[in-house]
């Protein structure tokens, strides 16, 4: 693989790689380091990259593994990064904005509480928009196991949100 091919095929993935690394690592500088380490690792095996059918899945798998290695070596916890700031549209009331902010916080907590595989699958599918076969390649699961993990993750988040919402609405005073 030439430098031009490498640059053309891999550099456009930089933002996706950074977002995935940011989900694993709490420090954005560490996430940037992981992106660089991923590029270095891929470059060092450039002679084998011509055989890779899905370069994006390969790069995502490499960065995922590097991040997991970093987490294991530093004995830190895996967690999702903070959700991006929500912009309050002009037509949204302050109460509605506060409601949405609280919902985002609950979703963030619930997703963080998922097992690592479910959390990763959910991020790759719902945030990165990857196809199931690509996610299976990244995570090392079968496509069926990937679908099951995604389904279980979504189901758990939905059920927990419903419990929270039901509890909060039941606790609200009735207005006549």
Per-residue confidence (pLDDT) for residue 72, from 0 to 100: 66
End-to-end C-alpha distance for the chain, whole angstroms = 72
pLDDT surpassing 50 at residue 168: yes
- The CB-side HSE value for 77 (13 A sphere, CA atoms) comes to 7
* Architecture of the structural domain at 1-81: Orthogonal Bundle (1.10)
CATH tag, 90-176: 1.10.10.10
Res 152: pLDDT: 92
pLDDT of residue 52: 78
Domain range list for the chain: 1-81, 90-176
- Least-confidence region, from 38-42, 100-104, 147-151, 154-158: 100-104
Banded model confidence at residue 51, pLDDT cuts 50, 70, 90: confident
């Amino acid at each position: 693989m030439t430098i031009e091919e490498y640059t053309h095929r891999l550099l456009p993935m930089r933002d996706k790689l950074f977002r995935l690394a940011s989900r694993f690592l709490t420090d954005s500088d560490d996430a940037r380091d992981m992106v660089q380490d991923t590029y270095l690792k891929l470059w060092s095996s450039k002679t084998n990259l011509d055989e890779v059918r899905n370069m994006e899945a390969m790069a995502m798998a490499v960065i995922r593994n590097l991040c997991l290695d970093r987490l294991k070596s530093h004995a830190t916890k895996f967690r999702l990064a903070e959700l991006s700031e929500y912009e309050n549209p002009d037509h949204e009331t302050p109460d509605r904005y506060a409601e949405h902010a609280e919902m985002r916080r609950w979703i963030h907590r619930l997703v963080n509480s998922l097992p690592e595989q479910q959390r990763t699958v959910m991020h790759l599918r719902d945030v990165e928009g990857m196809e199931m076969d690509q996610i299976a390649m990244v995570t090392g699961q079968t496509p069926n196991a990937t679908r099951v993990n995604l389904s279980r993750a979504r189901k758990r988040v939905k059920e927990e949100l419903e419990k929270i919402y039901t509890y909060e609405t039941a606790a609200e005073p009735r207005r006549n």
